[in-house]
Structure 1
């Protein structure tokens, strides 16, 4: 089994805020992430697929094809967007890194999974010190 990872980047704004809580409770739990005027991140997205190299190409999955797929399915929707307001697959969800990684997985998986190749992991780096990994 071989694992292939493609890395892409995007910039997006969001706000973590529970409307059932007071402003004070939101600030206590979410800190600066509950800023009324939003805040942004320069995200790094790692998408890992797994499988066996194809006998005719030696590829688990064509890396260029994977990059184009990520750009078409994810980056076009999230880059320079407000995750809370502009991104259909994040509608009515907390826009935490955790939920965003799950949303990205759900968007990509139908395009990647086949008999030969499976989506293995979505790793989303939010800051230099915070990242999440989702394995489905």
Structure 2
């Protein structure tokens, strides 16, 4: 099994806020991340696929095509957006990095060819905070 990772970058704003809670409880649980005026991150996105290299090309998958899929189905929808307000696939859920990683998986997985499998979405919110999602 070969694993291939493409690294991408996007910027986005969000706030962590549970509408079922009071302002005080949101501030207690989410701290500065519940700021009513939003806050932003410079996200690093690592998309890892797995499979067997094609015997004719030696490639697991054309990385230019993988980049195009990520751009079309993820980055065009997230980059320089407000995750809470502008992103259709984040509507109705808390915009945590965990939920965002799951949503990115759901956006990409249907568009990959059957010759490869999505292995992992790794999403850095900051250089010291990241989540990994392996599907399921």
TM-score range, shorter-chain basis?
A: over 0.9
Counterpart of 1:39 in structure 2 is 39
Counterpart of 1:7 in structure 2 is 7
Alpha-carbon spacing, 1:76–1:23, altered in 2? closer, same or farther (3 Å): same
CA contact (8 A) 1:113 1:119 kept: no
TM-score (norm 2): 0.97
Counterpart of 1:19 in structure 2 is 19
Measure how far apart 1:94 and its partner are: 0.4
Counterpart of 2:71 in structure 1 is 71
| Distance (Å, rounded) in 1 between the aligned partners of 2:44 and 2:56 | 32
Q: Find runs of 4+ consecutive structure 1 residues off by over 6 angstroms.
A: none
Mapping 1:55-134, distance limit 5 Å: 55-114=55-114, 116-134=115-133
TM-score (norm 1): 0.97
Measure how far apart 1:113 and its partner are: 4.6
- 1:37-90 CA distances to partner (integer Å, 9 max, x unpaired)? 000000000000000000111011111110111011100000000000100110
Residue ranges of structure 1 left out of the alignment (5+ in a row): none
| Distance (Å, rounded) in 1 between the aligned partners of 2:113 and 2:43 | 24
RMSD of Structure 2 on Structure 1 (CA): 0.7
3-state SS, counterpart of residue 84 of structure 1: helix
